[in-house]
Chains A and B, each alone.
Chain A
Amino acid sequence: MNVALLAPIATSHYSRQLLKSLSLEPGISICTVIVRSPFSINRFRAEYRRDGVRLLRKIREKLLLSEQPSTEPTSIPGLKELCLEHKIPYLVVSDHNHPRAEQLLKKLQPDLILFTGGGLIRKVILNIPSIGVLNCHSGILPAYRGMDVVEWALLEGLSNHIGLTLHMMDSGIDSGPILLTRHVPLQYQEKLPELRKRMEEMLPNLMLEAVRGLSEGKLTARTQTITHGKQYFVMHPRLKSKIKI
């Protein structure tokens, strides 16, 4: 199976771990890795409009205060290094919908695109792979679509609705057919950052499980009933302060 990987940033732990696991997987060939450049005015403008000050916090935490790939205990190399090692075409673009990304994907014709974050994907890209574009959403679908869904589930007192859902992407927000669901039960005295970290660590394995399942033809997607859930947006700090964990 021919697979392409879309990464939000070259240092993304999720993308690096997934790429490393995929490179060892028999029967899977990685045709390209497309990464968003961290510095783009258009991207900053669009994200600032959506996230406001939260974006600056994200930049501070992920770009400035996060540990660099080489200093991490797992020592997974950066995406570029992994691509060089395995001779995988590596492309940096300002946006995943950039014409250069589109051209490359059209040329390589992957069976599957694995999306590990980085904004919205336009229909033209979604239509390229023969199987589809896979995304792992940090919430239980169809109940919790959109942003901050872990926080929303906790605020609404539905801690049994915390988990991950692997789904095919479509033009809506987290509304595509579901492949796998993993509930993540809240542990005793666990705080939100710990829970988030635990969920993040589960992402590569779930994605890998789906790739295996699809390549062996053992996995089928089931359509979501949109009316069985709601779309959530970024949670206001006042509501966040009311979360009881």
Chain B
Amino acid sequence: MRRLLAFTLSLFERWLDDTIDPAKLRSFMKKNIDLIPAQSVQLLLSIDTILIESGFEFLKSDVQFSSALSCCKSNPSCLIEKMEALLRHVEVRRKTCFKATGMASSQLWCMRHRAAIMLCSYCRQVKDLRFLNTSLKLNDWAYPRYRSGSHHKDLPLYITALQEQETAIQELLS
């Protein structure tokens, strides 16, 4: 009886498992690779403002997000603190991260993809795999939104996030 229950649970586990395996990821990227260009660059530029408007405590600042990070360049401990806060926020809130009332779903997803990209590039910069770990999770949670093939305007940004993730894995772990 216990064995049967364990087997049923393992089937349930497989059904609920939201991690993207590398093969699945490759075919998804191949299908959507043409979506990356200009569109995503434009989106990247507009997201900084969205991040601040979200009221996420890490960004409770009246300065632009990018300038907030650039001012950290002269003060490394400030950047470390902000990135650690971002890491903790995503790890603790998980699938509800960055959620603020009244925010459009697309904005929310853009913000998550932006965060995933940022975590990856920071990971490559400081060679701290914890940031790649969090980015992998963010990208896994987003996958069900796009796998059906329906086109969302934030898809190019998601593809960019996946690309960044693969580059970081290639660079740091192979």
Contact = CB atoms under 8 A, between A and B. Distances in A.
B173 A242 contact: yes
Nearest to B14: A53
B99 interface: no
Contacts of B10: 60
Interface in A51-74: 52-53, 56-57, 59-60, 64-65
Given A53-B16, A53-B17, A65-B2, A236 B9 contact: no
Interface secondary structure of A, over-half rule = helix
Interface string B139-158: 01000000000000000000
B128 to A, nearest CB: 8
B86 interface: no
Interface in A207-245: 230-239, 242
Nearest to B91: A233
B133 A230 contact: no
A144 to B, nearest CB: 11
Contacts of A57: 13
Interface string B1-36: 011011001101100111100100000000000000
B111 interface: no
A190 interface: no
Given A60-B6, A60-B9, A233 B133 contact: yes
Interface of B: 2-3, 5-6, 9-10, 12-13, 16-19, 22, 87-88, 91, 94, 128-130, 132-134, 136-137, 140, 169, 173
Given A56-B12, A236-B137, A238-B169, 11 more contacts: A52-B18, A52-B94, A56-B9, A57-B13, A64-B3, A64-B5, A233-B133, A234-B91, A236-B136, A238-B22, A242-B173
